[in-house]
Chains A and B, each alone.
Chain A
Amino acid sequence: MSLVLDIEKQLGNFHLKTAVKCGNEVLSLLGASGCGKSMTLKCIAGIEKPDRGRIVVDGNVLFDSEQGINLSVQKRHVGMLFQNYALFPNMTVATNIRMGTRREGGCDEATLRSVMERFGLLEAADLYPHQISGGQQQRTALARILISKPDILLLDEPFSALDSHLRFRMEEEVRSVIRSFGKTVVLVSHNRDEVFRLSDQVAIMQDGKIDRIGKKTEVFRDPQTVNAATLTGCKNISPVKILDAHHFLATDWGLTFCVSAIPEDAGYVGIRMHFICPGEGENTFACSVTEEIENPFSYTVMLKKSDKEHVRSFGWELDKEAWKEFRKKDVIVHIPETSLHFLKK
């Protein structure tokens, strides 16, 4: 159970060049829209044809430009969940699901019923897709895919078509599907929370290329690139001017940091909003509050270094209770060295 992918495709000015390897796990492709993540999925599914490269699932070569192999979509046994679920509008829920078994010559009523039962679709069996809820539509689509016994599961922005209150429930369902599926799953998303909760490996994409790939905890802890930092939710990013072996200036904010080491290729520094804390110690700065933004369960406080004029503010996120206690016009914040992400140019 694995996926080995190394492909290239030119589309006008856009050049897609991705290479990933993953085993029995969930790989997420995280990126802004138009970064090529959906195109990569389509290449695996066989809907798009790469110009060059190789795609192997479980040792089966689906595509190999050198050997001239390009299996038809039908022969790839790739289950793909589309953003809009792509249910056949002229067929009932039961018939839609049954379509997934045609490759193997259909299935008996009992099998179909048990699958519908598992997905809680028995009541909707005779309804048409436009008569059921978004959640039921997604479950129908998942049931139709799983009954077709795919070797790999591709999820293309699975929750983007759902209302936010439904998202969480559906994510739970997808998580249980993934768990029982037990093979390689590739998830495409632009939502970092979703990605973190669902996946094992994360590949961060930009302009058709993967600029950071690794275990999700690694990637979130040490994003390494500006794009990866942004996509994993790091809101404070500033260019860096290296002063000496232990000191650098974050030019946007006018803050000078003292650290144990600075990587040579550091071009930017990122600081996550909730890693900033009040207090003493090294790297402590006197700041004035320029804005206070209330979130449902926290505050985002925009800070600016007190004694500097032309500097940009940076965000600090903290619990409501904590800010109520601390609330001042001028604050002293501590930015621990461990919370600094050095990012490549």
Chain B
Amino acid sequence: MDLYPLWNSIRIALISTVIVFFLGILAAYYIAKTPRIIKGILDVILTLPLVLPPTVVGYLLLRIFGPRRFVGAWLFEQFDLKVPMTWWSAIFATTVVIFPLMYRTARGAFESFDETLAYSGRSIGLSNPFIFWRIRMPYCKQGILAGCVLSFARALGEYGATSMIAGYTPGKTATISTTVYQLWRTNDDALALKWVGINLMISFIVLLAINLLEKKEGRFVARS
């Protein structure tokens, strides 16, 4: 059994989770500070991928990165880079799809943060980045960690947008989800079932990890 789809799926999910970790908390942090109307509009735009069919996301990505499209053409001319049908093009798809998950959980976590902690930190001379990474993030760790794990799990299962922009090339762009579809289409039931089993196992482990983390992190929550 060729394990390439497993490895490919995991690296795509990991990389997009890392990207979304930074993008999501950055967006959550700065958008929380914007005026109400702008916040409302940005919130809708950034959450949109959560409710859009993944095929629509895939289509939009192809409109942007397709070889004859605006960004795609520019990338090809400048860097001789063709985005679609590469293993890493799937990262674009998963990143867009999981971004709202990270953004929304991070925002929820930040909203629960006690701002007086930041004020008191600043008044005793702590720098803003220090307060962000050493006080705000630890305080919101639970929510943000949950957002990461959730994003990773969702990225692992991404099918629609990935299949459109990365396609299915065995040993090249194949992921677990596209492989299962391909195997089912070609009536390879036994192998499809194996991949389904692998996928179930990973999801199970990921969700178990969330629960365990939440228990361990519970100690800061008990406050006076």
B125 and A148 within 8 A (CB): yes
Shortest 4 CB-CB contacts between residues of A and residues of B: A103-B125, A86-B120, A73-B122, A90-B138
B124 and A47 within 8 A (CB): no
CA distance A45 to B123 in the complex (A): 7
Closest to B138 in A: A90
CA distance A304 to B213 in the complex (A): 68
The verdict on A86 contacting B126 (CB below 8 Å), with A99-B121, A137-B224 known, is no
The verdict on A80 contacting B123 (CB below 8 Å), with A90-B135, A102-B130 known, is yes
Residue B116 interfacial (CB < 8 Å): yes
Residue B34 interfacial (CB < 8 Å): no
The answer, among B119, B126, B220, for a CB contact under 8 Å with A90, is: B220
The answer, among B120, B122, B223, for a CB contact under 8 Å with A72, is: B122
B contact residues around A148 at 8 Å (CB):
123-125
**A-B residue pair count with CB separations less than 8 angstroms:** 75
A134 and B224 within 8 A (CB): yes
B36 to A: closest C-beta gap in Å: 14
The verdict on A45 contacting B139 (CB below 8 Å), with A90-B220, A103-B125, A130-B222 known, is no
A73 and B123 within 8 A (CB): yes
Residue A196 interfacial (CB < 8 Å): no
Contact residues, A136-187 vs B (CB, 8 A): 137, 141, 144-145, 148, 150
B contact residues around A104 at 8 Å (CB):
125
CA distance A145 to B130 in the complex (A): 17
A contact residues around B114 at 8 Å (CB):
84, 86
B210 to A: closest C-beta gap in Å: 20
Candidate in A45, A73, A77, A82 with the most chain B CB atoms within 10 angstroms: A73
Residue A74 interfacial (CB < 8 Å): yes
A167 to B: closest C-beta gap in Å: 16
A299 to B: closest C-beta gap in Å: 38
The verdict on A88 contacting B117 (CB below 8 Å), with A102-B130, A134-B224 known, is yes
Chain B interface (Cβ within 8 Å of chain A)?
114, 116-117, 119-127, 130, 134-135, 138-139, 220, 222-224
Closest to B137 in A: A90
CA distance A134 to B223 in the complex (A): 11
B116 and A89 within 8 A (CB): no
Residue A305 interfacial (CB < 8 Å): no
A74 and B223 within 8 A (CB): no
Closest to A82 in B: B116
Other A-B pairs beyond A86-B120, A100-B125, 8, CB < 8 Å: A77-B125, A82-B119, A84-B116, A88-B135, A100-B124, A102-B126, A103-B126, A148-B125
CA distance A79 to B135 in the complex (A): 19
Residue A272 interfacial (CB < 8 Å): no
B contact residues around A150 at 8 Å (CB):
123
B126 and A78 within 8 A (CB): no
The verdict on A89 contacting B120 (CB below 8 Å), with A74-B125, A148-B125 known, is no
CA distance A20 to B106 in the complex (A): 42
B142 to A: closest C-beta gap in Å: 11
Closest to A79 in B: B123
B136 to A: closest C-beta gap in Å: 10
A88 and B121 within 8 A (CB): yes
A79 and B139 within 8 A (CB): no
